Amino acid sequence: MGKSGIAASIVLFVSVIPALAAEPVVLFDGSSLDQWDVVGCEVELVDGAMLIKAGNGLVQSKKQYGDFVLQFEWKALRPERWDSGVYFRYVEVPQGRPWPDRDQVNLRFGMEGNLVGAKEGVNQVELDPHAFNHFELTVKGKTASLTVNGQPSWKVDTIAQPHGFIAVQAEVPGGGQFLFRNIKITELDSE
C-alpha cells in the first residue's frame, strides 16, 4: 500500500472514532447512593437494589444531563395500585411540591411506561410489574423515546428543557414501595 493509501486509511480510522458509542456510566451499582441526593423520602439498599422505603420525594442525581441514554430496571412491591416514576431534565422542584411538574416516565398502576402529559407517549409493550422490567430512555434535543424490555414503546418531540437532573420518584403514601437497580447513563454528543 502506498503512502496515499496509508494516509486514507488513517483518516478513515480517525473519522470513525467519534462515531463509537460512549461507555455507560453506572449511576447506581447496588452498593451506594454516592451519585444521588435523597430528598423527602427514605431509601434503603436491599440485595443490590434501591428500595424506595417511605416518603414523598425524590432520589435525585447529583449531576445534570443534556442528551443521554438512561437504562434502569424497576419492580413494584405492592400487589396493586402502585405509583412511582422517573423524572428527567428538570432543574428544580416547584416550591410547595414534592416533584417536578413535567417530563416523567410514569410507573403508576395501569400507566407504566407512559410519558406524563404526552398523548404520543403511551406504552403498549406488555410488562410484568412484579418482576424486574428493563427501561431504556433516550433523550436527544427535543426528542425522547422509550424501549421497554427490549421493544420500542414510544417516541415524542415535546421535550422543552435542554438539560437537568434525573430522579427516581418516591410516592410511597400514594403507591407503595418500589425497587430500582442497574441504573446506567450514557451521555450523547449534542449536535
Chain segment 163-174, per-residue pLDDT in tens: 999 999 988 887
Which whole number is the average pLDDT over 81-103? 92
Asked whether residue 18 carries a pLDDT value surpassing 70, the answer given is no
In this structure, what is the dihedral angle of CA atoms 162, 137, 45, 76, given to the nearest 10 degrees? 120
Q: Is residue 111 scored above 60 in pLDDT?
A: yes
Average pLDDT over residues 98-104: 91
CB-CB contact of 77 with 91 (8 Å): no
What's residue 176's pLDDT? Answer: 77
Give the pairing of strands 151-156 and 104-106.
Answer: unpaired
- What distance in Å separates the CA atoms of residue 125 and residue 10, rounded to the nearest whole number? 44
Record the cell numbers describing residue 147, joined without a space: 424501549
Question: CATH assignment of 22-187?
Answer: 2.60.120.560
pLDDT bin (cut points 50, 70, 90) of residue 21 is low
Instruction: Quote the pLDDT of residue 174.
Output: 78
Domain segments of the chain: what residues?
Answer: 22-187
Rounded Cα distance, 160 and 157, in Å: 9
Please name which of 33, 22, 96 lies closest in space to residue 61, comparing C-alpha atoms: 33
Position with higher pLDDT, 138 vs 14: 138
Whether the per-residue pLDDT at 14 is higher than 50: the answer is no
Reading the block at residue 87, the C-alpha cell is 423524572
What's the distance, CA 140 to chain centroid? 13
Rounded to whole angstroms, what are the CA distances from 136 to 2, 14, 48, 151? 46, 29, 19, 10
In this predicted model, what pLDDT tens digit does every residue of 133-153 receive, in sequence order? Answer: 999 999 999 999 999 999 999
Mean pLDDT of the chain: 89
Residue 7: is its pLDDT beyond 70?
Answer: no
What is the reported pLDDT for 52?
A: 87
Give alpha helix (H) positions in 34-98.
none
Task: Assess whether pLDDT exceeds 60 at residue 126.
Answer: yes
CA dihedral over 186, 35, 73, 145, signed as positive or negative: negative
User: For the segment 36-89, what is each residue's pLDDT rounded down to a tens digit?
Assistant: 999 999 999 999 999 988 999 999 999 999 999 999 999 999 888 899 999 999
Q: Are 138 and 156 in contact (CB under 8 A)?
A: no
Q: What is the pLDDT of residue 45?
A: 96
According to the model, what pLDDT value does residue 180 have?
A: 96
